[in-house]
Amino acid sequence: MKIPDDLKYTDHDEWVRIEGDVLVVGITDYAQDQLGELVHVELPAVGKQVKAGQAACEVESVKAVAEIFAPADGEIVAVNEILEDAAENINGDPYGSWIYKLKVAAVPGGLLDAAAYRAKLA
Amino acid sequence: MSLRQTPFHARHVASGGRMVAFAGFDMPVQYAGLREEHVATRTGAGLFDVSHMGEVRVRGPRAEDALSWLLSNAIRRLDPGQAQYNAMCNERGGVVDDVFVYRLAADDFLVCVNAANRDKDFAWMRAHDQAGADLEDQGDAWAQLAIQGPKAVAIVDRLVPFDAESVPRHHFRVDTFAGIADCIVARTGYTGEDGFEVFLPVGPGIEAVWDEVLRAGTPEGIVPVGLGARDTLRLEVRNALYGHELTDETSPLQAGLGWIVKLGKPGGFLGAEAVAARKATDPEKLVGMVIEGKRIAREGMPVLLDGERVGTVTSGTFGPSVERAVCLAYVRNDLAVAGRRLTIDVRGREATGVVVDGSFLAQ
């Protein structure tokens, strides 16, 4: 199970890359493996305001649907439209397949580093 | 409550099966991947452990009378060596269970029941058998494997001492399978593909049959298949699943099972009058819908027409072979027409479903 050291993680198995005041969010290798083959990503609308811990969007596999939670309060400023027709990219490359970018007022402090996330999964 | 294990449990774990609780058993939901297992079954062959299914043995001079009363189909027309799909109905015309009946001899039947209904069915059969057959719950005495797919018959042929291809659909042979004597080797299945379901008497060494089948099917690329793909395979060909399309409240006619309901058979059957009466009163019937776009309808989602609730989804998934989202739903009778477009409320967002006739695979 890949857990890159240069990313942060949430308790809900999202990965987060911090780019200034923008959080780039996707789902972890563990999450995609648990869900199985993804067939649909319900991308959020650009401009949507989300609250920390609230569902920002959904990913759906053949067998299940999973909510992708916002790691902080903020505004969706970009979505990865490639996934609209290629949700399976997340299975093949979960850390290369970002789902949305969230502009935040403050970077949240409670994110896990790779070691902590690895420990959580163990 | 501890989960029960089938005789092949250690094989599933060794094969990387992801185990989940299902009907009180610890069962594999997938191994390599649901889609891969699904496609392998449609194009080659898949091996399924369905030992969790229940079995009721019905024997004695009154066995035929008992089953003809308890079940909806033409039990008396079943010859030894034949299998038949049946509904077991209650007095309200609802479905206690959907079952497969194997006639072993004139006075000897095996009834295969859904795992989740095993205790309910046996109690029901005992309580409502007016004829006085000898009923025995043999759920622990039988393991069951399904070998399904276009290459399945060729694989089974290597494991039995007879010509597997010579067994007609819905017929069976009682013979040795992979070295285990007295197996029921039946040309039946749930996936919409050709193949066999094999009932094996539980005994020492039975777990090795799993390896034998995988070895025999290596040239055809047989793979173990979990419950996840079993569900997508059955849904693509619109086979009903108890607890979803069929319940104690739904009539078999609502569910489109008129072909197994013999309302006029001699002696009738338990629930027949209610089933007949409900033809005029049931407000909904089961339809299949193909979903436009990428959203997936799931069980329990409301079906709408112009904002008004007109039905409910009973099963839904993305069909790996159909390559579209498909679902089954109960909808208002007047809307159960091919081509009818309906809205499905997918967690607050709308998806359009189009009613279709027949298997989703044929669309």
Task: Determine contact: A36 vs chain B, CB below 8 A.
Answer: yes
Q: How far is B29 from chain A (nearest CA, A)?
A: 10
Contacts of A63 in chain B (CB under 8 A): 29, 34, 228, 231, 317
Contact (CB<8Å) B296/A36? no
Query: Phi and psi for B162 in degrees, rounded to 5?
Result: -125, 175
Q: How far apart are CA B83 and CA B170, in angstroms?
A: 5
Distance between CA atoms of B225 and B17, rounded to whole angstroms? Answer: 9
Share of chain B above pLDDT 70, in %: 100
Closest-CA distance, A40 to chain B, in angstroms, reads 6
**ipTM score above 0.85:** no
Mutate to test the interface with A, among B22, B227, B296 (most CBs of A within 10 A): B296
Residues in A closer than 8 angstroms to B317, CB to CB, are 62-63
Is B354 buried (19+), middle (13-18) or exposed (0-12) by CB count in 10 A? middle
pLDDT value, residue B2: 86
Total residues found in chain A within this entry: 122
Closest chain A residue to B324 measured between Cα atoms?
A: A39
What is the SS3 assignment for B69? helix
Q: Which amino acid makes up residue A110?
A: G
pLDDT single digits (tens) B287-310:
999 999 989 999 999 999 999 999
Indicate the residue of B294, B295, B320 with minimum beta-carbon distance to A62: B320
Which pLDDT score is estimated for A23? 97
As a whole number of angstroms, the distance between CA A72 and CA A50 comes to 8
What mean pLDDT is predicted for residues B38-58? 98
d(CA A66, CA A60): 6
Q: What is the pTM of this model?
A: 0.93
- What is the Cα–Cα distance from B17 to B28, expressed in whole angstroms? 5
A84 touches chain B (CB under 8 A): yes
Residue A63: predicted pLDDT? 82
B34 closest CB neighbour out of A42, A60, A63: A63
Instruction: Calculate the dihedral angle through the C-alpha atoms of B172, B178, B180, B183, rounding to the nearest 10 degrees.
Output: -10
pLDDT in tens, A8-60: 999 999 999 999 999 999 999 999 999 999 999 999 999 999 999 999 999 99
Q: What value does the mean pLDDT of chain B take?
A: 97
pLDDT in tens, A64-115: 899 999 999 999 999 999 999 999 999 999 999 999 999 999 999 889 999 9
Res B189: pLDDT: 97
Q: Identify all chain A residues contacting B347, using CB atoms and an 8 Å cutoff.
A: 58, 65
Q: Where are the beta strands (DSSP E) in B272-348?
A: 284-292, 302-305, 308-319, 324-332, 341-346
Nearest CA in chain B to A87: B294
Query: How many helices (H) and strands (E) would you count in chain A?
Result: 3, 9
Q: Which residues of A touch B29 (CB under 8 A)?
A: 63
* Distance in angstroms (rounded) separating the CA atoms of residues A4 and B84: 55
Q: Has residue B138 got a pLDDT over 90?
A: yes
| Residue numbers in B near A87 (CB within 8 A) | 294
Tell whether A82 is within 8 A of chain B (Cβ). no
- Tokens representing residue A44 in the block: 């959020």
| pLDDT tens sequence across B313-361 | 999 999 999 999 999 999 999 999 999 999 999 999 999 999 999 999 9
Residue B213: what pLDDT? 98
CB A16 within 8 A of CB A25: yes
Q: Is A37 part of the contact surface with chain B (CB cutoff 8 Å)?
A: yes
Give the nearest chain B residue to A40 (CA atoms): B294
Alpha carbon dihedral A105, A107, A109, A115, in 10-degree steps, equals: 160
Q: What is the pLDDT of residue B363?
A: 83
Average pLDDT, integer, range B215-239: 97
Contact B82, B69 (CB under 8 A): no
Question: Closest by alpha carbon to B192, among B222, B230, B139, B247?
Answer: B230
| Min Cα–Cα distance to chain B from A84, Å | 9
pLDDT reported for residue B1: 61
> Per this entry, what is the length of chain B?
363
Q: CA-to-CA distance for A60 and A38, rounded, in angstroms?
A: 6
pLDDT at residue B150 greater than cutoff 90: yes
Q: Which of B30, B35, B6, B33 is nearest to B20 (CA)?
A: B30
Does the pLDDT value for residue B205 go beyond 70? yes
Q: Is B264 exposed, middle or buried (0-12, 13-18, 19+ CB in 10 A)?
A: exposed
Nearest-angstrom CA–CA distance, A34 and A48: 28
Contact A65/B30, CB-based, under 8 Å? no
> Ramachandran region of residue A78, left (φ > 0), alpha (ψ -120 to 50) or beta?
beta
Helix (H) or strand (E) holding B210: helix B208-216
Angle among Cα B247, B306, B289 to the nearest 5 degrees reads: 45
List, as ranges, residues 39-68 from A with C-beta within 8 Å of B.
Answer: 39-40, 42, 58, 60-63, 65
Rounded Cα distance, B154 and B168, in Å: 14
Order across the sheet with B95-105: list the strands.
B83-89, B95-105, B108-113, B54-59, B134-137
B315: nearest CA partner in chain A:
A63
DSSP 3-state of B39: helix
Nearest CB partner across the interface for B296, out of A37, A40, A84: A40
Instruction: Please report residues of B whose CB lies closer than 8 A to that of A39.
Output: 294, 296, 318, 325
Neighbours of B11 (CB within 10 A): 20
| Residues 6+ away with beta carbon under 8 Å from B306 | none
Cβ <8 Å between A62 and B295: no
